[in-house]
Structure formats: structure tokens, C-alpha cells
Structure 1
């Protein structure tokens, strides 16, 4: 089809902004979804086609009612949905396991796991019932879906759960031509990883400055997965700063 339609959550900054702008650059129509309209408008204004091919949808992904209303807007505006990049999420303060506050645990679960599920389910329903049916759901898993950082119980647990959710989407979606993919990202240069330029705790108790990569590489990787025909899939992709301490012992 000449026109392709996508939703990017958490599109107001960082990885979400880079992915939305990469899709816009490839000619996609993109709904940028997040909590703050101002930052979402900035995402669109940073793309030459943002005004003509993008629109802002405000919602908190952890709130089911807001998610359902947001995807209803998308369906009304686009008429169909081809890709969801499930990117919205948050972390919590790095603390020892027994010091994690219940409200921080619940906030991370609401955004990273509940929000991923709510958005995926809303997108799945549209993709299942549209004609021609089918579409692609891409979840932001993170390298923390494979290996934890010190003091990150909530983030690690939710990102491991996202991997199971991705596999389930891929399995259940087969009969509807819906694919499930996950991109695991390590140390992209965004506001969320700015602290790494000053040093972050390592498993051996030391502090170390960690390398980062240009977030635009992540955006292009998402756009590559999105552009595949539905008879091909990249179920899991890892993109990371080459010299970050992930592969090996540290």
C-alpha cells in the first residue's frame, strides 16, 4: 500500500522521538503518543513531513481508558494501523532490593508492563479487524530484558516480562498476520542515559563512565523492522553502544 500508518508511544523525547522521525522520513503517517503535547509537537516539528504526516495523541499508557481513547483517535484519523512501536516506559531510583519503594515498583509496572500490554492489545484489535488485516507490534525490551543493572529490580522485572509478551503476541498473532518483534537497546544517547557520562554503578561495586551511541541509529533500526513485509520478521534485535559493558563479565 502507498500509505503506511504507525503509532509511536513515548514519542516526546529520546528513543521514541528518534523512531517517530525515522518513520516520518520514510514516508509513514505517524501518531506520536505521550503524556505531554508540547514535547510531542516538538517531535513533529523536527521532521520535514511532521506537519503533513503526523499528529499528536496525548495519553498515559498506564491508564487503560486513556489508551483505548487514544487508539480510537488513531483509527478515526488513519482508518487502519500497520505498526505500533511500544516504547513508552520509565525507571526508578537505583536502590538496594529491599529499599525499593512500593510506589516506585507500581509506577514502573504501570508504565513498562501494563502500558505495553494495553497499547499492544488496542493495536492488535485494530490489526485483527481491519482489511486487509495484519500489522506489526514492536516492543522496546532493553538490554535489561537479558541482564540486570545493580539496584534496578522493577525495571529489570518488567523488561523480562516484555520479552514474554512479545513472544505471545508473535504466537497469537500468526493467524491474523500480526507479527511481534522486540528491539533491545543499550546505551543510546538520550536524556535517560545522560547519567552514564558521569559514571554509573557496576556489578563489582565500582563506578564507570559508559559509552553511548547516537539515538538516530535506534530510530533507523525501528524503521527497518517496520518496513519488512508481514511474511518476514525480526523477532529480536539488539542494538547497543559497541564498547558498553554488556557482553562478557564485569
Structure 2
């Protein structure tokens, strides 16, 4: 765990999956804008790398946690409360695609369960913990931004577990938005298509399309996504980006299939 001195005027964010990809890009955008950021993820080493990239002046804490484990989530938010006193933002980002290109009939129960536990149960557990803190803190309120996916709108071939969980994230976002209204808790969702991360490396080598062919797909920089999340995060709680879609301009999404 790494601690930096807190500025009492800084807002505090929790970013899950902060050790790489979109999570790292968003964490760096937030610290660059003066936020105090709790970096959460399963592996300590990548979290430490993100903290180092944030720079000596950044206010960060690293906390290894598996979001699918209730005890880890409880410990994470308890530590953040002790460190910063409040939570102003949760970027619910941790996720896994699961096994690649497995037909529905061959997907194992264990693989299905792993994807559901990380993508859906993990997002719920973190949102629940953030919601409780935001409801109780003074001043009351905060914001939750869920990382959905283009797959929350249209599936890729052989992605039933990932697609099902990302459709479910949309329901989670809507329910949190409604239930959070009395407590000044805003919830939005960002649906991302083909940001250049470890998860999308295969796009540049060729990936299965709906017509059965393999095709190379364009990608965009993760920093372009991070700027959008930062905009959503810094709105006053009286305003909310309910859903935002950010994608590589020419990826096969509009008209997919």
C-alpha cells in the first residue's frame, strides 16, 4: 500500500482494475486533474507501476483486491474511508472477457461463473460499498461510473458470458441512478469500443466477425476514453451523463452483424 499526503480540498476516487488499460488511463487522468485516487486491482505490481506513473506529487493509495470477493471490497472501502474520509467517485472498471471465441455449447460452468463474478457481481459489490459510503458521508452524495462496453449494445460472436454481463451492467446503472436520487448519488455508464489495451490486442491481429470471417479492427487510444470519464466525473451532481459511447470511429459497430 502506497500513501501520499492528502489535500483536504481534493475529491477522492476509487478506480478498480487500475493496474492496466482503461483503469490506468483513467486513474492518471484523475490524478492529473488533482483528484486523490485509490488504485484497486488484483496484482500489486501493476498498481505500483500506475502509482509511479502518476508522479511524486500525486495523491494515491494502492490496494490489492479481488472485486468478486465481498471481504476484499469491504476492506478496500474501509481503507479508503480511513485514508480520505469520503468517496466522491467510483469508476467501476474491473472486468474480464473470459475464454476467447468459445461456442456457447462448449463454455464451461466455471468459465461462465468467473466472468459473471468479476464483471457483474464485482461491479455490484463495489457499487454497493460506494453507495453506502456516499449515502452516509457529509456532504452527502457522489458519483458512480460503470464501465459497460459496446457489447452492452451488440454482441461479438462467441462472447455469451461477457455480453450477458455487460447487458446486465446497463440494468445496474439504471437501478443505481434511480435509487441514488434521494441521496445525491449519480450513476452513469461509459460504453467503450476498441480502446488500445491488452484486452484488445487481438483486434489488430484479426478477430472473428459476425459473418464468420477474421478481420483486423481499428483501435483508439485509452487516453481518449479517460478524457471522457474525467468529464463525466467532474460534472456537478446536479448533472449526469447517463450513457456515453466512445469508440474507434471506423470499428464495425454501427451495422455490426
Indicate the TM-score class for this superposition, using the shorter chain for normalisation.
over 0.9
For residue 139 of structure 1, what is the aligned residue in structure 2?
A: 146
Q: 1:121 to 1:41 in 2, by over 3 A?
A: same
Q: Is the 8 A contact 2:210 2:256 kept in 1?
A: no
Match of 2:34 in 1: 27
In structure 1, what is the equivalent of residue 3 of structure 2? none
Note the alpha carbon deviations across 1:47-69, whole angstroms, 9 max, x for none.
235x5401101110000111001
1: CA distance, partners of 2:116 / 2:144: 20
- Look up the SS of the partner of 2:186 in the other structure: strand
SS at match of 2:71: helix
> Which residue of the partner structure matches residue 64 of structure 2?
58
CA gap 1:249/1:139 in 2 versus in 1, 3 angstroms: closer
Q: Following superposition, which runs of at least 4 residues in structure 1 exceed 3 angstroms of deviation?
A: none
Separation of aligned partners in 2, 1:37 and 1:120: 22
SS of the residue 2:245 aligns to: strand
Structure 2 match to 1:18: 25
Corresponding residue for residue 193 of structure 1: 200
Partner of 1:70: 76
RMSD (Å), alpha carbons: 1.0
* Distance 1:87-1:249 versus aligned 2 partners, 3 A rule: closer
Tell me, which stretches of 5 or more residues in structure 2 are unaligned? 1-7
Task: Write out per-residue CA displacement over residues 150-195 of structure 1, whole angstroms, 9 at most, x where no aligned residue.
Answer: 0000000000000000000000000000001000000000011001
SS of the aligned residue for 1:194 comes to helix
Alignment-derived partner of residue 86 in structure 2: 80
The one-character-per-residue Cα deviations of 1:107-164 (angstroms, maximum 9, x if unpaired) are 0001000000000000000000000000000000011001000000000000000000
Query: Residue 215 of structure 1: which of 222, 228, 231 is its match?
Result: 222
Superposed displacement of residue 249, structure 1: 4.1
Quote the residue 2:126 is aligned against: 119
Task: Indicate the residue corresponding to 2:46 in structure 1.
Answer: 39
Q: Offset at 1:71?
A: 0.6
| Alignment-derived partner of residue 190 in structure 2 | 183
Report the Cα distance in structure 2 between the residues aligned to 1:221 and 1:58, rounded to whole angstroms. 26
Cross-structure match for 2:181 = 174
Match of 1:158 among 165, 168, 178: 165
Structure 1 residue runs of 5 or longer lacking an equivalent are: none
Q: Distance in 2 between matches of 1:249 and 1:144?
A: 11
Per the normalisation by structure 2, the TM-score is 0.95
